[in-house]
Amino acid sequence: MNKLVTLIPLLPLIGFLINGIFRKGLPKTISAVVGSGTILVSFILSVLVFLEVKNGNTQIVTLFDFISVGSLSVPFSFRVDQLSSLFLLVITGVGFLIHLYSTAYMKEENNAHYARYFAYLNLFVFSMLLLVMGNNFVIMFIGWEGVGLCSYLLIGYWFKNIEYGNAAKKAFIMNRIGDLGFLLAIFWM
């Protein structure tokens, strides 16, 4: 079960890395299969995890110590309970449908731009999964920041269009305001 929980966010991250690193050499079909396939497998794993935790079996998976200074220890860990497993289904299910739609919507792009778009989408899904699965505020905040970054990247995808670039900047500024609220809530607790 721990391996399934770990694979759910890891697969979109792998899809991001493959499409991001090899974008110039990947044909569109490979970019689409890697991007969409990793999300589909994450969805299937999310269904299995949901069935496991639906009766209240909370799963906590600790991968490593993220921060360890003196008596302060912040593990890089995931928590999957009934609520978060429901969100896993929504994120990976809707994310897969968006990937599937994007294969046709982006068909006019050249191979490198096509792969870049799918890399951004995979990073977006990975970040949302971190936000939902994080077992502490540090991991959740990393996911929050990733979602903000991906919003900026996807809104400004056609960066040569000035209007899209300006919209991306507005989204970036709004995310910084949201960051302030998130950080205040963390420190309040």
What average pLDDT does the segment 168-187 reach? Answer: 84
Instruction: Note the pTM of the prediction, 2 decimals.
Output: 0.89
Place of tokens 């999300």: 39
* pLDDT tens, position by position, 48-99: 999 999 888 898 998 888 888 888 888 899 999 999 999 999 999 999 999 9
Q: What pLDDT is stored for residue 93 in this prediction?
A: 97
- Residues contacting residue 33 through CB under 8 Å, at least 6 positions apart: none
pLDDT at 157 (0 to 100): 77
Cα–Cα dist 96/122, whole Å: 10
Query: Does the pLDDT value for residue 163 go beyond 90?
Result: no
Contact between 154 and 116 under an 8 Å Cβ cutoff? The reply is no
pLDDT value at residue 169: 82
79: which DSSP letter?
Answer: E
Residue 26 confidence (pLDDT): 85
d(C-alpha 116, C-alpha 113), whole Å: 5
**CB of 5 within 8 A of CB of 59?**
yes
Q: How many C-beta neighbours within 10 Å does residue 72 have?
A: 7
Q: Give CA–CA dist 93/62, Å, rounded.
A: 25
- What Cα–Cα distance (Å) separates residue 10 from each residue in 72, 88, 115, 186? 26, 13, 18, 26
- Residues in Cβ contact with 72 at an 8 Å cutoff, skipping those fewer than 6 apart: none
**Is 125 a residue whose pLDDT tops 90?**
yes
Kindly report, residue by residue over 9-53, the tens digit of the pLDDT: 999 999 999 999 998 888 889 999 999 999 999 999 999 999 999
Q: Where are the alpha helices (DSSP H) in the chain?
A: 2-21, 28-53, 82-105, 111-133, 137-155, 162-188
